[in-house]
Amino acid sequence: MPLAEPESDQDVGSWWAALVERLPLDGAARNLARNTVLAARQENQWTLRLSTGHQVLVNPERTQELAGALSDYFQRRIRLNLEYDADAGDTPEAIDQERRRVRLEEARGALLEDRTVQTLIQQFNARLDESSIQPRDHDQPTD
């Protein structure tokens, strides 16, 4: 069942991110899709915005693979235009990076508030190796 159309312009970013996850893309074509935002949709002509720093991801084969995946998903031909901007906005990749950053900060805070960790730091002059902190996956059981 296709993803429901976004109800407002504010929903387009999260809709595009969810759509990209549903498309059967991998490798460079997936990377291209994850680093774009849907700037406009008019019938079968869609415009994707890409940060200028990600132009290296663009080539005709990747663009065609993405257009083909969208066409198959919606069961109609979709043509893509790409435009470039210094800051494309909230791409699916940027949204995921922000989520990871927040989860990492939450994990760091939880460790620093943990009584056992605080005791080790105080009694043994220990230090928390912050580069080793990994947030738990949502489906990972707690101890």
Question: For residue range 89-114, what is the model confidence (pLDDT) as tens digits?
Answer: 899 999 999 999 999 999 999 999 99
The structural domain count of the chain equals 2
Can you say how many angstroms the Cα of residue 32 is from the centroid of all Cα atoms in its chain?
11
Q: What is the pLDDT confidence band of residue 143, given thresholds at 50, 70 and 90?
A: low
Residue 60 has pLDDT above 60, yes or no: yes
Q: Which residues contact 66 (CB under 8 A, 6 or more apart)?
A: 23, 25, 29, 32, 33, 80
Are 62 and 28 in contact by the 8 Å Cβ rule? The answer is yes
Residues 62 and 119 in one domain: no
**Mean pLDDT score of the chain, rounded to an integer?**
91
Residues 85 and 121 in one domain: no
Are 35 and 88 in contact by the 8 Å Cβ rule? The answer is yes
Residues 51 and 14 in one domain: yes
| pLDDT higher at 84 or 87 | 84
pTM for this prediction: 0.79
- Domain of 112 in residue numbering reads as 94-132
With pLDDT > 70 as the criterion, what percentage of the chain qualifies?
Answer: 96
Q: Of 83, 90, 96, nearest to 12 (Cα)? A: 90
Residues 85 and 115 in one domain: no
pLDDT for the residue 106: 94
Residue 127 has pLDDT above 70, yes or no: yes
